[in-house]
Structure 1
C-alpha cells in the first residue's frame, strides 16, 4: 500500500475502509446512534432523574437533541480544562432550539417565550446561528418542552452533536427588494429530506450549513462548512454558487468556492453529496482535525468538486459565477422596504440576550404592527416583518420602550458575545454581561462615533462569537494585572474581515477585563483621528503601527 494511503487510513476515513473507532467519541457513536437517545430521555431519564443518566448519553448523545450540561456555578475560569466533566457539570442543561432560516410564526415565538418562563427561569438567548438557547433546563421537563415545540413545528433535533446543524438563511428571504433568490424552499427541502435521518447522524464532527440569496451575505458563507450563495449565471438565471470548508475555532479557514452553478432544484442533491463526502472522507482519528475544512484544505476545491461530481452526484455541474461582493453592513438592522410595499424593522437586543417576557412583548408588537412574522439573524439580532410604512416609526418607538433599538449606536449594533463562563463549561471569562456593560460605557464615552465597527467577545479560544473576523475580536483568557494577580482578560485580534483576512494579533496585546473599555476607547479614538475618507477600521489596522494599536 502506498504511504499516502496508509496516512489517510490512519485518519479514520470510512471511504478508505477504516471503520474501527480511533477515539472515545467515535466509539460512542458506533455503539449507539445519537438519535436513539430521545426515547431513553422520554422513557427513563426524565422519570428517574439526573442521576439515572448514562455518562455516554449525558456527555455525548444528549447533544443530538440540543442538550449540554451547563457549568456548575462558582467554578472560576482558571479551572476550565483542568477539572473532570463530573466536577464541571451542573445538574441543569443548556437546550438549543433550531430555527432553520431564522423564521418564526407568532405561535412559534409565543411557545418559545412560554417555555423560557415555564422551564428555563426566563432565559433565552438569540445565537449567532439564529437559534434560541435556554438555560436551567431540568431533565424531568425535557419531554414536555419537546411536546410544546413540536406542536408548533419546532425541534431541538440535531441542534448540536456531530450532525448537520441548523441551516441558516437570510431573515428577509422572500421579502427583500434586492435578493438574488429566495432560499427558503431549498432550506425546507434539505431539512425535510435529511435532518434527523440516520444517513447523516454520525459525522466526523458538526456540520454547519447556509443557504441564502441575500445581497448583504448575512449568512456569513465564508465561515460555514457548506454554503449556497445566490448568484446569476450568464443566461440571467438565478441559482447558487457553492462554498465548502469554512470555519473558525483555533485553526480558522475561509470557505473555498467550488466554481459551480447550482440550480435551485439541485441544491438538496449537491448538499447531500457534499455532506456525504465529509461523512465518508472526513478525518475521524483526531477531534481537532475532524471538521470538513481540514479535508478541503488538503484536497483543494478542484479535487473536492471532482469527488462530489463523480462519486456522489453522478453528473457534472456547470461552471458558475461568483456572487457579487457583500453590502457594507450584513445585519438587517433598521427600517427598510420590502418588495411588497411593506417594511421590515430590524432591532438589536444587547448581545442577543432576551428573555421569555421580552419575547412575548416582541410577539405582541409583531402582531399589532405587522403580520406577526418575526425573524432571528446570524448577528444575534431580530426582525419584525410586514409593517406598513406609516406604522414603522410607532413600532420603533414601542420597541425602544423595551430597550430594543431600531437605530442603535454602532456599539449596540455590532457587538456580539458568546455564552461565556456564566453557563459554558469551556469558557474562561464572563462575556454576556461584560458585552452589555461595554456597550453602555462606549456609548457614554464615544457618543458621536458612527463608523461600522464590530466587537466580538468570546469566552475561550473556540471562536463561537467569530473573534477572528471582527474589527475588534476579544478572546477570553486569564491575564496578569498590574499587581501580578491572575484575572479575567482578553487577547485582542484587530482588523478581521470575512472572506479577506483574519484579525491581526499584535505581540503582547492583551487587556484585563476591567481595562477593556479603556482599551477599546483608546484604539477607536486613534482610528477616528487617523482614518482617511471612507477608510474602514480593518483597512486602518493594516497600516497602523503596533504602537498605535496598543
Structure 2
C-alpha cells in the first residue's frame, strides 16, 4: 500500500539547504515565485520583485486583505460576548457586517440561504441579498463521541430552537438550521451543561478533530487515540494562539487500520503503524484538502510516538499559522504550502524551527482490509456489539436523535458515535439486545442493514440552506438512493457488487468529497434538450480513498460534456452501473474500470 503522495514542484529544494548571509532563508526561497521569464529577457531592466504571500515569518504581519485585517482588529473569539450581551437582545438587524459575515463563524454560525432563491442567482447576488436572518449552527463532536445526555440535549435544542432539523455532517458535527441569534445564549448554556461546544466549529481555526468512531472498542484496533484527541481539544481549541490561521485547518486521527477518518484529505492526519523497534505509534500525513483544487496529503516519513502527538500537532499548526499564505484567500490552505515545499523541506522546518529535535523514520501503514464506514453489527473486544446505521445522506431530526438516546439508555449504553461518512454508531449493545436495537434504529430512520447506495451515498447541505449552492442535494440524493437500491437489487446480489460511493455536491467546493468518490456529482446549471437552463451535475468518475479495494488514493476523471439533470441521477447511475457490470474485466473494481473505460461506456 502506498500512502497518498503529491510530487514536489520542479525546482523546489527537497532538502531545505541552509541559508547563506546573502540569500533568503530556505523557507523564504521555497515560497517566493521566480521572476517572469519575459522580465528576465528584457536587457537593462531588473526582474520584478515577487509579491508577498502574506507569510508572517517572511513578510511580517501587516494584513494584505480585508479578511486578514478583520481578524487582526479583533480576535473573532471575542464576538461571543457581543452576541450574548448585545445581538441576542437587539436582534439580527443589530449585527454589524464584520461580525455577521466574519467573526460569527468562529462560534459555528453561518447565515443560511433565504428560501426561494434559485441556483441561477447564487453568483449574481450579494451576500446580504441571498442570506436569511436565520443561522446554520455546527456543534463540535471531536472524535465523533457523544453520550446519552449530550445526544438528548442536542435533540432538545433541535426541537426547541431549530424546527426539529439536524444533520450529521461528513466531519461528524451535528448541524442545525433555522437558529435565531436571540436563542444562542440558551443554546450555549445547554451545550456547556453537558460538555459540548460550538467553539471554532467554523472559521480560520482548527476545526473539529476527526477520530475513529470505534476508538477503544474495536477488536482490530491498533491504538486508541481518544485521550490524545481530548488533550488537544482541552488545551488548544479556543486558544488565541491558533484563532487566526490563514484559513481552516482540519485534523484527523485514527488508531484503526481501516483509515476511517479520511486521512488523505486533511491538513494533519495520523494513521496507526507498528515500528519494528519503537512499537505502536502513528504515521504522519500533512497537507490534504479538496475544494476546487484537490491535493492529497503527503507522508512525512516519520514515526510519531503517542506521547509526542500534541506537541507535533502544535508545531505543524504553528507552521501553518506562521508560513501559510494569507494574501490570496484561495491559496491560504496548508495544501499549497506543502505543494511548494515538498514533504522533505516541510519535515526539516518542522524539526529545526519548531520541535528542536529529529523525528525517527517510520514504516508506511498497511493497506486496509475492511470497510471504513462501520455500518452493520460488529462485535466489540469486550463481547458486546456496536451497530453502525445509515440515515439518508446524514439527514435526521431532533425527534430521531431523542429516540436514539432513549434506545441507548434502554440497552445500558452511554456511548454514541458519529462518523465522517454521515453515519451513526450505537456502542456497547449487549448480545441479547442487538435485534431490538437494529429494529428500533430502523424505525428512527437509521438503517443497520442498508442497500448498497443508502450505505455509500453522501450529500452536502445543498441549496436548501447553503448560500453557495447552485443545486439541491439531500432530496435528490435520497430519491436516487431509493430508486437505485430497488432497481439494482438483483444486479447487486447476482454480481456480489460492493457498494459504489456516490457523493453529491451542490456547488464546486466539494464539501461532499466529489473527487474521491466512485461517482461524484458537482452541482451546476446545465442545458436540457429544449435549450433551457436547469439544475444538474457535472460527473466525476473513478475517484477513491485508500481502502480494501485500492492501494492508493486518487481523484476521479471527468468526461467532456457528461452532465446529468438533477432529476435524472438515479437513472444515470443505474445505467452506468449496468455498463460497469457488463464491461468490466472479471472482478475489476469500479474505479479502475471507470478510469480506463471508453467515454461512450460512461455516458
Distance in 1, Cα, partners of 2:576 & 2:53: 44
Q: What whole-Å deviation, never above 9, does each CA across 1:439-491 have from its counterpart, x for those lacking one?
A: 11112211232422000000000000000000000000000001110000000
Structure 2: 5+ residue stretches without partners: 1-22, 34-49, 546-551
Q: 1:191 aligns with which of 218, 230, 233?
A: 233
> CA separation in 2, counterparts of 1:206 and 1:9?
23
Residue 404 of structure 2 contacts residue 444 of structure 2 at CA under 8 Å; is this kept in 1? no
Residues 97-136 of structure 1, C-alpha deviations (whole Å, 9 max, x = no match): 0100000000000000000000000000000001000000
1:492 aligned onto 2:534: no
Deviation of 1:211 (Å):
1.0
Please give the per-residue CA displacement for 1:334-374, whole angstroms capped at 9, x wherever unaligned. Answer: 00111111110000000000100000111111122241310
| SS of residue paired to 1:515 | helix
1:263 Cα deviation (Å)?
A: 0.8
Relative to the length of structure 1, the TM-score reads 0.98
Determine if the alignment matches structure 1 residue 473 to structure 2 residue 520.
yes
**CA deviation string 1:203-259 (max 9, x = no partner):** 000000011111111101000000111111012611111110000011001000011
Following the alignment from structure 2 to structure 1, what is the Cα–Cα distance between the partners of residues 233 and 307? 14
What's the counterpart of residue 599 of structure 2?
546
Q: Quick check: 1:370–1:385 contact (8 Å CA) kept in 2?
A: no
Instruction: Give the equivalent residue in structure 2 for 1:16.
Output: 58
Q: TM-score, normalised by structure 2?
A: 0.90
1:430 aligns with 2:472: yes
Which moved further from structure 2: 386-395 or 178-187? Answer: 386-395
Asked if the contact 2:217/2:380 (under 8 Å) is kept, the reply is yes
Per the TM alignment, residue 9 of structure 1 is displaced from its structure 2 partner at its CA by 6.2
1:9–1:17 CA contact under 8 A, matched in 2:
no
- 2:262 aligned with 1:220: yes
Shift of residue 402, structure 1, vs aligned partner:
2.7
The structural deviation recorded for 1:389 is 1.9
Q: Secondary structure at the match of 1:344?
A: strand
- State the alpha-carbon separation in 2 of the partners of residues 355 and 366 from structure 1: 17
| Residues 449-458 or 175-184, more deviating | 449-458
Which whole-Å CA distance do the structure 2 matches of 1:168 and 1:454 have between them? 20
- 1:383 maps to which of 425, 440, 443: 425
Please, which of 306, 309, 320 is the counterpart of residue 267 of structure 1?
309
RMSD: 1.3
Q: Does 1:59 align with 2:86?
A: no
In 2: Cα distance, 1:285 partner to 1:350 partner: 40
Q: Is the 8 A contact 1:9 1:16 kept in 2?
A: no
Unaligned runs of 5+ in 1: none
Q: CA deviation at 1:533?
A: 3.7
Larger Rg: 2
Deviations 1:59-84 (A, max 9, x none): 00000000000001111101112211
**Which of 355-364 and 506-515 deviates more?**
506-515
Confirm whether residue 413 of structure 1 aligns to residue 455 of structure 2.
yes
**Matched length:** 550
C-alpha separation between the residues in 2 aligned to 1:427 and 1:28? 25
- In structure 1, what is the equivalent of residue 582 of structure 2? 529
For 1:501 and 1:220, how far apart are their aligned partners in 2? Answer: 12
Partner of 2:9: none
- Please list the CA deviations of residues 272-296 of structure 1 after superposition, one character each: whole Å capped at 9, or x if unmatched: 0000000000000001000000000
Equivalent positions of 1:252-331 (< 5 A) are 252-331=294-373
Q: Is the 8 A contact 1:370 1:384 kept in 2?
A: no
Please list, as runs of the form range in 1=range in 2, the aligned pairs for 1:121-136 lying within 5 A after superposition: 121-136=163-178
> How far did 1:539 drift?
1.3
Structure 1 residues 407 and 532 mapped into 2: Cα distance closer, same or farther (>3 Å)?
Answer: farther
The aligned residue for residue 556 of structure 2 is: 503
- Counterpart CA distance in 2 for 1:31 and 1:313 is 30
Counterpart position of 1:141: 183
Map of 1:386-401 to 2, 5 A cutoff?
386-401=428-443
Counterpart among 152, 166, 169 of residue 110 in structure 1 = 152
- CA distance in structure 2 between the aligned counterparts of 1:131 and 1:452, rounded to whole angstroms: 24
- Cα distance between partner residues in 2 of 1:115 and 1:108: 11
Query: Residues 352-391 of structure 1 correspond to what in structure 2 (within 5 A)?
Result: 352-391=394-433
Mapped partners of 1:338, 1:159: distance in 2: 31
Question: Aligned partners of 2:465, 2:148: CA distance in 1, in Å?
Answer: 29
Q: Is the 8 A contact 1:217 1:327 kept in 2?
A: no
SS of the residue corresponding to residue 478 of structure 1 reads strand
Greater shift, 397-406 or 89-98, is seen at: 397-406
C-alpha distance in structure 2 between counterparts of 1:472 and 1:6, whole Å? 38
Query: Is the 8 Å Cα contact of residues 128 and 380 (structure 1) preserved in structure 2?
Result: yes
* Superposed displacement of residue 6, structure 1: 5.8
Partner Cα separation in structure 2 for residue 183 and residue 234 of structure 1: 20
2:85 to 43, 48, 59: 43
Question: Are residues 43 and 232 of structure 1, via their aligned partners in 2, closer, same or farther at CA, if it must alter by over 3 Å?
Answer: same
Cα distance, 1:167 vs structure 2: 0.4
The question of whether the paired residues in 2 share the 8 Å contact of 1:418 and 1:457 is answered with yes
Tell me the equivalent position of 2:193: 151
